Amino acid sequence: MMIWLVGFAAFSQNDPQAKEILDAMSAKYRNMTGFSAEITSSLVNDVDGINEEFGGKITVKGDMYKLEMDDQIVINNGVTVWTYLPDANEVNIDTYNPDEDEISPSKIYDAYKKGYKYIYIGEETYKGEPVSAIDLVPNNKDAQFFKIKLFVSKKDSSLKSWTMFDKSGNKYTYSFKNFKENINPKDSEFAFDATKYPGVEIIDLR
């Protein structure tokens, strides 16, 4: 569940105003010991008439994260990725490849630093709060997502929401609520414990 093509000329230079906002946002999250939040994910495709919404929780510590959604649990400890599917009682295990996971929940705050051009779009309002809207466009025109739009709080530089656009017309939007910062979860929380899922089928793809 994680995830645009007019005006590429406008992105020929990185925008200093956007960089200042993004640097403040990145520093805010990088300086935290960890955080957790309720997360809402939606998938919209106007052409195909798709409008779906999913809820869940995310916990992040450094480059590690645990994303618990309605239809799956994804755990990444920086070395291994576990994807658990409750309906099938099945977990897929794979080796983490950061080059294939540039926009993971633990890296969305730093995605702009490598492989993207960025531009300040302007001030908008997100749920009644003034935010800075910034577009990220990948340098690689064959990338799965051709744009990421970030909404960054003007008040405290927190990331309120982001939308990822793919070439099939899908728009994936993620947003946080009940944000808890500077938590310090144990590293053991970022590993799949098969004993908690009796009868789970383990598929090791490493």
Q: Provide the pLDDT for residue 9.
A: 34
The bridge status of strand 201-204 relative to strand 90-95 is parallel
CB atoms within 10 A of CB 92: 18
Instruction: Name the pLDDT band for 2 (thresholds 50, 70, 90).
Output: very low
- Dump pLDDT digits (tens) for 140-181: 888 888 999 999 999 999 999 999 999 889 999 999 889 999
Structural domains counted in the chain: 1
Q: Provide the pLDDT for residue 3.
A: 37
Q: Where would I find the H helices in the chain? A: 16-30
- Dump pLDDT digits (tens) for 5-64: 333 334 445 789 999 999 999 999 989 999 999 988 899 998 889 999 889 999 999 889
Instruction: Tell me the sheet residues that pair with 204.
Output: 93
End-to-end CA distance of the chain: 21
Structural domain includes residue 202:
no
Q: Which domain holds residue 139?
A: 13-179
Q: Please tell me whether residue 195 adopts helix, strand or coil conformation.
A: helix
- Dump pLDDT digits (tens) for 68-117: 988 899 999 999 999 999 999 999 999 988 766 556 767 788 889 888 99
Domain of residue 38, CATH code: 2.50.20.10
- Say how far apart CA 81 and CA 78 lie, in whole Å: 8
Structural domain includes residue 3:
no
Structural domain includes residue 188:
no
Structural domain includes residue 201:
no
Q: Are 73 and 87 within 8 A, CB to CB?
A: no
Structural domain includes residue 6:
no
Structural domain includes residue 96:
yes
The pTM of the full predicted model, rounded to 2 decimals, is 0.81
